[in-house]
């Protein structure tokens, strides 16, 4: 198959269900593949890493949106997303990211462990009740969606009573990452408007009555004499945290469970701790990455020997880099004991995932508890994958737990 045929296959439902044989075929074509005059696909681990860390490659921002989609200004979601750190280049990116990082600290994440453990245990209790008589339990609905969204709500400081409405809104907003046509926009815009209005009201509450949560602390940073975060920048990046941290982590949990359902020998090891939780999570991230790709705009340079320019659209296939046979021994095997980890699943360089420590913690808490609690966990029907390429995960994953 040539590159065009492989890409066409990746665009089909079958290709999205199992892209890995197609990634292997891409690796045979080379690390960097020129698809057309301006389109370049990077599949090699080292080259993806280099592009991510090279500040000359830019993310899509206001300037590039103006060129490609001038109507963006009519859409609330784009009015927010042009302030998302994910979509900002230097120097604005560094300014806003460093203010976020001042409050979204490693210490705050570590401090969330007891709360995450308690949330996971509550959800597992409910799963145990539902599945006690041997009936199927829906892991995605009953655990994998609920844990991350509750954790982000806890992190930001969204009260318990408001949390239920967040899941569908966050999911609708996440549609922006998979937007193939303009038809999806009204729904995504509606979610963006509702979430922003909610955060605006919550910020007013927290400003007068701070609670020590991320939102309260960010407001304090931005209101301080040297604060350089406008209200819009702050509120817009709250919607980013919700949308970037929710479905990605959901998919980490679902993808990890499916890997173990296919390899039941890991249930005991992960449940009892003889397979270290952190190593297990890293290998899940590598083997079946919740985020499969990202992209950058080029500049006049080369990636390996392939010339790119400011007109180039460079797609970085993280999921393929994670299976690069030049980088990983037995790249196609799942092996938490491999010593050569370092998946690209959280990106790299200036835009490295700000929530990586939190996502890793959620996985490291959830998997040992899940398998320790349900040593007989087994498939209870055909799982269904989400028909998406950028975010990779399941819609449903039915299991029996008794
Ligand atoms: C397994 C779960 C997750 C995965 C696989 C993941 C993946 C990624 C990737 C690949 C990027 C970089 C994108 C690029 O360079 O173009 C990124 C950035 C980001 N992630 Fe995550 N993420 C996860 C969880 C989270 C969580 C839990 C949060 C927050 C609560 C979060 C917030 C962000 C933000 C704000 C950025 C933008 C950083 C920047 O541009 O400076 N992510 N994530």
Q: For the segment 16-74, what is each residue's pLDDT rounded down to a tens digit?
A: 999 999 999 999 999 999 999 999 999 999 999 999 999 999 999 999 999 989 999 99
Give 168 Cα–ligand 1 centroid separation in angstroms: 20
Give 353 Cα–ligand 1 centroid separation in angstroms: 4
pLDDT at 387: 85
Give 402 Cα–ligand 1 centroid separation in angstroms: 35
81 lines ligand 1 (CB under 6 A): no
pLDDT at 225: 65
* Count of C-beta atoms within a 10 Å radius of residue 108: 16
pLDDT at 120: 98
At 121-133, the pLDDT tens digits run 999 999 999 999 9
Please, are residues 400 and 134 in contact by the beta-carbon 8 Å criterion? yes
The pLDDT profile of the chain, 402 residues, written as one tens digit per residue, is 999 999 999 999 999 999 999 999 999 999 999 999 999 999 999 999 999 999 999 999 999 999 989 999 999 999 999 999 999 999 999 999 999 999 999 999 999 999 999 999 999 999 999 999 999 999 999 999 999 999 999 999 999 999 888 888 988 998 898 877 788 899 999 999 999 999 999 999 999 999 999 999 999 988 776 767 899 999 999 999 998 988 899 999 999 999 999 999 999 999 999 999 999 999 999 999 999 999 999 999 999 999 999 999 999 999 999 999 999 999 999 999 999 989 999 999 999 999 999 999 999 999 999 999 999 999 999 999 998 889 999 999 999 999
* Count of C-beta atoms within a 10 Å radius of residue 254: 26
pLDDT at 389: 84
pLDDT at 382: 96
Angstrom distance (rounded) from CA 83 to CA 192: 13
> CB-based contacts of 300: which residues, under 8 Å, 6+ apart?
308, 309, 310
87 lines ligand 1 (CB under 6 A): no
Please, are residues 149 and 163 in contact by the beta-carbon 8 Å criterion? yes
Task: Report pTM.
Answer: 0.97
Angstrom distance (rounded) from CA 314 to CA 297: 6
316-352 burial, b at 16+ Cβ within 10 Å, e below that, comes to bbbbbbbbbeebbeebeebbbebeeeebbbbbbebbe
> Would the CA dihedral through 274, 276, 279, 284 be positive or negative?
positive
* H-helix or E-strand spanning residue 369: helix 356-373
pLDDT at 345: 98
pLDDT at 283: 98
Pocket probe for ligand 1: among 353, 361, 394, the residue whose CB has the most ligand atoms within 8 Å is 353
Give 346 Cα–ligand 1 centroid separation in angstroms: 6
């Amino acid at each position: 198959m040539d590159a065009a045929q492989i890409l066409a296959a990746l665009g089909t439902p079958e290709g999205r269900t199992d892209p890995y044989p197609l990634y292997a075929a891409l690796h045979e074509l080379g690390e960097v593949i020129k698809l057309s005059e301006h389109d370049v696909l990077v599949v090699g681990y080292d080259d993806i890493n280099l592009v991510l860390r090279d500040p000359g490659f830019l993310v899509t921002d206001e300037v590039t949106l103006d060129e490609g989609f001038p109507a963006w200004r009519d859409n609330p979601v784009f009015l927010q997303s042009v302030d998302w750190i994910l979509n900002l280049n230097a120097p604005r990116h560094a300014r806003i990211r460093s203010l976020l990082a001042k409050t979204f600290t490693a210490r705050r994440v570590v401090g969330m462990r007891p709360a995450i453990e308690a949330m996971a245990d509550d959800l597992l209790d409910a799963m145990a009740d539902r599945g006690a008589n041997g009936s199927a339990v829906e892991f995605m609905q009953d655990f994998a969606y609920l844990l991350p969204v509750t954790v982000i709500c806890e992190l930001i400081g969204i009260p318990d009573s408001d949390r239920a409405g967040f899941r569908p809104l966050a999911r609708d907003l996440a549609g922006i990452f998979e937007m193939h046509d303009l038809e999806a926009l009204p729904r995504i815009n509606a979610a963006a408007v509702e979430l922003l209005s909610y955060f605006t009201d919550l910020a007013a509450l927290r400003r007068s009555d701070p609670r020590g949560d991320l939102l309260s602390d960010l407001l304090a940073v931005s209101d301080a004499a040297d604060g350089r975060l406008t209200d819009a920048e702050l509120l817009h990046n709250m919607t980013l945290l919700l949308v970037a941290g929710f479905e990605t982590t959901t998919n980490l949990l679902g993808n990890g469970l499916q890997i173990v359902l296919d390899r039941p020998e890991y249930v005991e090891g992960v449940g009892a701790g003889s397979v270290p939780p952190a190593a297990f999570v890293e290998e899940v991230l590598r083997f079946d990455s919740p985020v499969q790709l990202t992209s950058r705009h080029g500049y006049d340079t080369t990636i390996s020997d392939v010339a790119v320019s400011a007109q180039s659209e460079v797609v970085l296939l993280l999921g393929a880099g994670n299976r690069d046979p030049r980088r990983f021994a037995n790249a196609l095997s799942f092996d938490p004991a491999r010593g050569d980890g370092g998946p690209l699943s959280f990106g790299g360089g200036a835009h490295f995932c700000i929530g990586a420590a939190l996502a890793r913690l959620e996985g490291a808490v959830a998997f040992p508890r899940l398998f320790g609690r349900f040593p007989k966990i087994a498939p209870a029907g055909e799982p269904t994958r989400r028909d998406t390429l950028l975010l990779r995960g399941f819609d449903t994953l039915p299991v029996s737990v008794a």
